[in-house]
Amino acid sequence: VRTAPRRGLATLTSSELEKDFAAMLPEAALQRDPSTVEGHRMDWLKQFEGPVLDNDRTPKFVLRPGSTEEVSEILKYCHKHEVPVVPQGGNTGLVGGSVPKRGDEVVLNLARMNKVLDFDDVGGVISCQAGCILADLESYASARGYLMPLDLGASGSCQIGGNLATNAGGIRLVRYGSLRSNVLGLEAVLADGTVLDMMNTLRKDNTGYDLKQLLVGSEGTLGVITGAAIITPPKPVARQVALLALDSFDEVLSTLQKARSCLGEVLSAAEFWDSPSLNMLLDTMPEVVSSRPIEGDHPFYLLIEAAGSDAEHDMAKLERFLDGFEHGVLAMDESQVASLWSIRENLPVALQHRGGRTYKYDVSIPSSLFDELTNLIRKRVASVSEDAFVMQYGHIGDGNVHVNGWSPAFDQDVLDALEDELYAFLTKHRGSISAEHGIGVLKAKKMHISNTESSLALMRSIKNLLDPKNILNPGKVLPEQA
């Protein structure tokens, strides 16, 4: 908790701000309950907490606007009075982007803007407000024979606005592509309160710079996303999931290749995890996963999902793919499919429940370097304690690996040494420091590893153009300048 006020902090106190916002917004738009407000100031990992400043400079409320107009009013006011704002969705982000960093920021949460505005059931396009929870949109689309182009373990809490702001990846990217490629329209409010209405449901619209794409993935630093129009692909008729036990990461890769060639267009997901991941889950959340899905403790597990329009046709493809494997299970009905998926989706949840300290890395690297990367992290984490271990899991279909070290205690020196070595490795091999989780606070200082100086300079010019007073999520994405 930082007590002394810092240079450049907002001048208005929480009480003054609250009085002004109460005068301009309906009562429902101000959340004052202290424990709720506190929850909005701590991230999901419990690793980032907005500091409480003295002199009543830390807002004791959260803003929850109910309309784009209210967001615009709020930003006009904050722009005029130079009050920093943290746009927030479901607060499931993993890089510290969704909570205050300095302590004087106002949290602007989109939860109350959760309406579906329109659904085009011929073209398969949903238009909705940014505060819609992803799982709610999935139910809405599924009831109409469609589905959302993304799914992730946080779908029960994350909002489509946050998904867009982080260009979230998840388990469907291998089939439907990035969220970015599925966005047709966007509505956002800029730092000065200007409403940018780019809500469009046309598949083709080549009229100048694609401004919406600037906001997708900008993590709340260029504007507040208030609405979107997203392509919803047709819901597959049948879904089958195979889980295979494999002996090496190379075998995971070769099996993925085989899946691609045997299943072709019906391959809808390819996720993997290793033995330490499954053992951690069985040990930490036996109430969720009580037994091994396949007899024995195997080095690696590969989950392959086929989803198409003809169960028989898909099954024939799947049987060809599964031919020759010794250890595996094939889930045919929804409950078996769900239980295999629950292993994968609960890995990060169990890790968070486990307490202790997680060293979380979400990287993209050429698969040939995977073992070297993991051994680098394993060597460092093992030096913290003999109970420490490293887990590997993720979206192998997109080459996106989540390497998580865990130890009972935290060791700053180990973290510093690990990160120096890891980021030097990524620099050397032109890997990405963030495959899907974004930058937030956590990786702002490492942006130079995945971006050239000229790219960073252009990003800064764009930030200065759109948010010259730096009120939108200050200290996130771009490294702060001295």
Contact set with ligand S2G (CB under 6 A): 94, 153, 347-348, 360, 362, 394, 402, 404
In 309-373 the beta strands, taken as DSSP E runs, fall at 328-331, 357-364
Contacts of 178 (CB under 8 A, 6+ apart): 167, 169
Name the one range near ligand FAD by CB under 6 A: 150-158, 266-274, 307-315, 454-462.
150-158
CB of 279 to ligand S2G, least distance (A): 16
Nearer to ligand FAD, 346 or 367 (CB): 346
Tokens representing residue 38 in the block: 């506190």
Helix 249-263, helix 311-322: angle, nearest 10: 140
Residue 124 vs 348, nearer CB to ligand FAD: 348
Query: Residue 236, Cβ neighbours under 10 Å: how many?
Result: 18
Distance from chain centroid for Cα 298: 29
By CB under 6 A, is residue 110 in contact with ligand FAD? yes
Residue 219 or 274 with smaller CB distance to ligand FAD: 219
Alpha carbon 478 to its chain centroid, in Å, reads: 18
By beta carbon distance, the residue nearest ligand S2G is 348
> Minimum CB separation from ligand S2G for residue 210, in Å?
26
Instruction: State the binding string over 7-46 for ligand FAD (x if CB under 6 A, else -).
Output: -------------------------------------x--
DSSP state of 429: T
Q: Is the Cβ–Cβ distance between 269 and 175 less than 8 Å?
A: yes
Residues 127-146 that bind ligand FAD (CB under 6 A): 130
Within 10 Å of residue 29's Cβ, how many Cβ atoms? 23
Phi, psi (degrees; rounded to nearest 5) at 188 = -145, 160
Nearest to 223 by CA among 38, 435, 472: 472
Contact criterion met (CB below 8 Å) for 161 and 186: no
DSSP 130-171: TT-BHHHHHHHHHTTTB--S---TTTTT-BHHHHHHTT---T
Smaller CB separation from ligand S2G, 282 or 459: 282
Determine if 277 is a binding residue for ligand FAD (CB under 6 A): no
Choose the contact partner of 59 out of ligand FAD, ligand S2G, none; CB within 5 to 8 A by kind. none
Q: Report the half-sphere exposure of 110 (CA within 13 A, side-chain side).
A: 37
- Binds ligand FAD by CB under 6 A, chosen from 219, 305, 314, 467: 219
Segment interacting with ligand FAD, rule: CB under 6 A, options 163-171, 206-214, 273-281, 287-295: 163-171
- Measured from the CB atom, the residue of 215 and 401 that comes closer to ligand S2G is 401
Question: DSSP secondary structure string, 81-98?
Answer: HT--EEEESSS--SSS-S
Closer of 249 and 393 to ligand S2G (Cβ): 393
CB of 98 to ligand FAD, least distance (A): 3
65 touches, from ligand FAD, ligand S2G, none (C-beta below 5 to 8 Å by class): none
> What 3-state DSSP class applies to 293?
coil
Question: Binders of ligand FAD among 79-108, rule CB under 6 A?
Answer: 86-94, 97-98
**Under rule CB under 6 A, how many of the chain's residues touch ligand FAD?**
38
Tell me the two tokens of residue 460.
């800064």
- Pick what 392 binds: ligand S2G, ligand FAD, none; C-beta below 5 to 8 Å, kind-dependent: none
Q: Are 200 and 185 in contact (CB under 8 A)?
A: yes
**C-alpha closest to that of 398 among 196, 174, 182, 150:** 174
| Contact positions with ligand FAD (CB under 6 A) in 409-448 | 436-437, 440
For residue 173, the minimal CB distance to ligand S2G (Å) is: 10
Do residues 189 and 437 lie in contact, with contact meaning Cβ atoms separated by under 8 Å? no
Q: Computed over its alpha carbons, how large is the radius of gyration of the chain?
A: 23
Residue 99 binding target from ligand FAD, ligand S2G, none, CB below 5 to 8 Å by type: none
225 binds ligand FAD (CB under 6 A): yes
Stretch that binds ligand FAD, among 24-32, 50-58, 167-175, 259-267 (CB under 6 A): 167-175
Q: Which residues bind ligand FAD (CB under 6 A)?
A: 44, 86-94, 97-98, 110, 130, 152-154, 158-159, 161-163, 165-166, 168-170, 219-220, 224-225, 348-349, 436-437, 440, 473, 476
